[in-house]
């Protein structure tokens, strides 16, 4: 039976979702101890798993080590600690004592305290179908220094081997997928930058080394946090593997005391069968249904002015672009950087959020009215967390930025980071954002953040380390407040491209800017890594000009469109100078995208041929009675004959009609022999196939 149950005689809790069961118990010392995470079990089956702890092998090896639900430092526990505390008298070890628990439908709270010190710990478990969300609360009656506070420790079943899947990257090369054998010892994925980061992302998947796209058991853990973070995979010589994770980094501590509790971010876990494809679809369903603010919406086709005008923004050129974008079928027009203050480049003006009257003599109102009159929504770029030293704001409030005494203030992109942990900075940011949205009828904010933290200090504050957590929480609170006060407002999260993509930001952003690299060939790989966990419904993807500004590569317009149409379609080129045939093709493909958009944004993704080489890449979305197949030839070699593409996710007993060719296909044949692609000849060839289920 699905739900949460307490087996009082065994001091065991059983949490059962759609196809998985999770169980934990209290050991003889009241330590919360892992029992099971795996296939669905009945509550009657679970007691059979409650074997007595094994005796120590010797003075150095404990076969039960690594089973704690929140591995705490202390005693003879030497596993990677998820919780480290230091009491005022220097004591570090934690000794658990169970107090009580509460079960409210899908939510379990288990309350503990330390046996001697006034520290209280609450472990939270919340079921979302087959995803289990976990987090921890700490509270104390006297000041306690918390050296490390991860959200949870996840204990995986013992397997003969373990393989890790994760992504790495850099600016313009985010989310590159890697699958490697788990090393013995500790493997840590982390960001110390104050943001999620381009170089890694806070999730990891684990399998036994045999899982494929379609077969095998896969476990995944993902952290909902947009600041500095850490995930540690620990593999012991005894064969056990755990994953613990949370916010924070080495050298940064938290203080807990009267009136100052600490709540860690959610860390979500998911176990699936059916390989990496099933894991991805389950994560996508979870994000769409339980994370995104408006899961049922369809994201509009967007036009952004950045690549057309750069910083050279004025009312006239934006009106011209808006008229051309509306004629193509765009539904949202976004003015990018350069509309405010002395912002004629990236060297000045950031922080002075007032309309540049030389560029917009009548303010933004005439342009907003023109865009709305063209039948489009109006959006605008902002970067609230940053300031240029060459700005009125910085000259007035130099103390508002992150800084340390007697240390330089390092600039990146000529910017410094504002300290959003400060109440005065938060009030200032809310005031101008609230006016911008409310006074001008802004429908959409592109919220950017173009550099990581440095010199992250807060001189004069009694607890300067708290800024690492409170900055991110202040950003969350501001986004939440803007949404509440302006229910029609929609938001895109950006951080120099994909530097702030995570479950925490997706709970507040309707879409995310995946990468500053819009090169369609590179995007196939970036989007492949992104899609391991995050859904197309939130993946912003643009069609831009030839040659691409990052790579210098030129590709056919149809290929560029087909790659961007696999997510939330946007246009970012200088469309005023596109030739007539390109404009005509763009109108045709935008209309096609609007037809397939429900399938792409709400459908289940099947990765048919991933981008592991430079040959064919193909994937498919299935939603209700429709399927959309995307196929791309990156490079043609040796005149190799084209093979049919085996599809997935269809009903073998049904028939499907190709909406463009008019041909019908047996579902069974499409699943076994495959679909003839009929790609055009040559490199950078692509095709989109629309299939609809019909009665036999």
Q: Are 501 and 512 in contact (CB under 8 A)?
A: yes
Q: Is 448 annotated as a binding residue?
A: yes
Among residues 68, 207, 448, 522, which one is catalytic?
448
For helices 365-373 and 315-328, angle between their N-to-C axes, nearest 10 degrees: 10
DSSP one-letter string for 221-285? EEE--SSSEEEEEEE-TTS-EEEEEEE--TT--EEEBTTB-EEPPPEEEEEEESHHHHHHHHHHH
Q: Is 353 annotated as a binding residue?
A: no
Distance CA 163, CA 270 (A): 16
CA distances from 339 to 232, 334, 431, 446, 493 (A): 43, 11, 18, 13, 19
Q: Is 143 a catalytic residue?
A: no
Place of tokens 């596993």: 79
Helical (H) or strand (E) element with 179: strand 176-181
Q: Is 539 annotated as a binding residue?
A: no
Q: Is 336 annotated as a binding residue?
A: yes
∠ CA 623-626-628, nearest 5°, is 90
Which positions ≥6 away from 59 have C-beta within 8 Å? none
CB atoms within 10 A of CB 662: 7
Q: Is 27 annotated as a binding residue?
A: no
∠ CA 322-326-328, nearest 5°, is 120
Q: Is 692 annotated as a binding residue?
A: no
DSSP one-letter string for 379-446? EEEE-TTEE-SSSHHHHH-GGGB---TTS----BTTBEEB-TTSHHHHHHHHHHHHHHHHHHT--EEE
Q: Is 225 annotated as a binding residue?
A: no
In terms of DSSP H, where are the helices of 459-568? 467-485, 503-506, 520-530, 557-564
Q: Is 390 a catalytic residue?
A: no
Q: Is 171 annotated as a binding residue?
A: yes
Read off the tokens for 18.
Answer: 């759609």
CA distances from 438 to 315, 333, 373 (A): 20, 17, 18
Distance CA 232, CA 71 (A): 12
Helical (H) or strand (E) element with 667: helix 667-672
Q: Is 52 annotated as a binding residue?
A: no
Q: Is 79 annotated as a binding residue?
A: no
For helices 520-530 and 557-564, angle between their N-to-C axes, nearest 10 degrees: 10
Q: Are 40 and 20 in contact (CB under 8 A)?
A: yes
Helical (H) or strand (E) element with 109: strand 107-114
- Of 173, 427, 444, the C-alpha closest to 300 is 444
DSSP structural state of residue 291: I
∠ CA 71-73-78, nearest 5°, is 80
Q: Is 57 annotated as a binding residue?
A: no
- Of 671, 579, 566, 694, the C-alpha closest to 628 is 566
Which positions ≥6 away from 650 have C-beta within 8 Å? 622, 627, 656, 667, 670, 671, 691, 693
Distance CA 503, CA 515 (A): 17
- Of 331, 334, 327, the C-alpha closest to 313 is 334
Among residues 207, 443, 516, 648, which one is catalytic?
516
Distance CA 500, CA 596 (A): 28
Region for 172 from its dihedrals, namely left if φ exceeds 0, alpha if ψ lies in -120 to 50, beta otherwise? left
Distance CA 42, CA 47 (A): 10
Read off the tokens for 141.
Answer: 């009656």
Which residues sit in the known binding site?
A: 171, 336-337, 413, 446-450, 494, 516
Residues with catalytic roles: 448, 516
Which residues sit in the known binding site for substrate?
A: 171, 336-337, 413, 446-450, 494, 516
């Amino acid at each position: 039976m699905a739900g949460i149950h307490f087996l009082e005689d065994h001091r065991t809790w059983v949490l059962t979702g759609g196809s998985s069961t999770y169980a934990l118990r209290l050991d003889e010392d009241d330590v919360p101890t892992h029992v099971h995470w795996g296939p669905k079990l009945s509550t009657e089956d679970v007691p059979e798993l409650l074997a007595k702890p094994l005796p120590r092998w010797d003075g150095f090896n404990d076969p039960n080590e690594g089973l704690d639900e929140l591995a705490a430092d202390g005693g003879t526990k030497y596993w990677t600690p998820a919780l480290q505390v230091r009491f005022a008298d220097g004591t570090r070890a934690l000794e658990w004592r169970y107090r009580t628990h509460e079960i409210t439908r899908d939510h379990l709270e288990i309350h503990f305290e330390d046996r001697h010190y006034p520290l209280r710990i609450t472990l939270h478990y919340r079921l979302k179908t087959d995803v289990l969300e976990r987090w921890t609360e700490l509270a104390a009656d006297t000041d306690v220094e918390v050296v490390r506070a991860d959200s949870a420790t996840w204990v995986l079943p013992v397997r003969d081997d373990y393989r890790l899947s994760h992504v790495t990257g850099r600016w313009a090369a985010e989310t590159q997928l890697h699958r490697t054998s788990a090393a013995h010892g500790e493997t840590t994925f982390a960001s110390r930058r104050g943001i999620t980061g381009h170089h890694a992302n806070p999730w990891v998947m684990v399998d036994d080394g045999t899982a494929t796209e379609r077969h095998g058991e896969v476990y995944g853990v993902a952290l909902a946090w947009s600041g500095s973070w850490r995930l540690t995979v620990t593999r012991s010589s005894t064969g056990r593997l755990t994953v613990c994770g949370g916010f924070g980094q080495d050298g940064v501590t938290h203080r807990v005391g009267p009136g100052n509790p600490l709540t860690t971010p959610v860390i979500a876990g998911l176990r699936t069968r059916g390989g990496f494809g099933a894991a991805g679809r389950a994560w996508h369903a979870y994000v769409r249904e339980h994370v995104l603010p408006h899961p049922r919406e369809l994201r509009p086709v967007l036009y952004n002015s950045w690549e057309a005008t750069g910083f050279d923004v004025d009312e006239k050129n934006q009106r011209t672009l808006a008229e051309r974008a509306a004629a193509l079928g765009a539904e949202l027009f976004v003015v990018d950087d350069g509309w405010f203050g002395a912002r004629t480049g990236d060297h000045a003006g950031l922080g002075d959020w007032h309309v540049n009257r030389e560029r917009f003599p009548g303010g933004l109102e005439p342009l907003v009215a023109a865009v709305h009159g063209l039948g489009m929504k109006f959006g605008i770029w902002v970067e609230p967390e940053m300031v240029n030293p060459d700005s009125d704001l910085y000259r007035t409030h130099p103390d508002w930025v992150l800084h340390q005494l007697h240390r330089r203030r390092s600039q990146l992109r000529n910017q410094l980071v504002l300290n959003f942990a400060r109440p005065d900075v938060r009030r200032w940011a809310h005031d101008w954002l609230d006016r911008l949205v409310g006074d001008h009828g802004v429908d959409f904010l592109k919220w950017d953040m173009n550099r990581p933290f440095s010199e992250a200090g807060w001189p004069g504050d009694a607890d300067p380390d708290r800024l690492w957590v409170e900055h991110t929480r202040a950003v969350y609170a501001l986004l939440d407040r803007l949404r509440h006060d302006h229910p029609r407002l929609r938001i895109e999260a950006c951080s120099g491209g994909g530097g702030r993509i995570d479950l925490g930001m997706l709970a507040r952003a309707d879409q995310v800017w995946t990468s500053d690299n819009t090169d369609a060939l590179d995007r196939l790989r970036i989007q492949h890594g992104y899609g391991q966990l995050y859904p197309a419904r939130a993946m912003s993807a643009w069609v831009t000009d030839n040659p691409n500004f990052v790579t210098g590569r030129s590709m056919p317009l149809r290929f560029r469109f087909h790659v961007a149409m696999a997510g939330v379609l946007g246009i970012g080129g200088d469309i005023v100078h596109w030739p007539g045939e390109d404009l005509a093709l763009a109108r045709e493909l935008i209309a096609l995208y609007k037809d397939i958009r429900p399938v792409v944004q709400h459908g289940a993704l099947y990765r048919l041929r991933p981008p592991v080489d430079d040959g064919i890449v193909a994937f498919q979305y299935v939603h209700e009675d429709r399927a959309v197949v995307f196929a791309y030839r990156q490079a043609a070699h040796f005149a190799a004959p084209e093979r049919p593409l085996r599809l997935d996710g269809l009903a073998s007993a049904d028939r499907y009609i190709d909406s463009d060719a008019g041909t019908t296909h047996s579902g069974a044949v499409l699943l076994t022999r495959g679909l003839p692609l009929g790609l055009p000849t040559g490199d950078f060839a692509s095709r989109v196939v629309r299939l609809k289920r019909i009665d036999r």
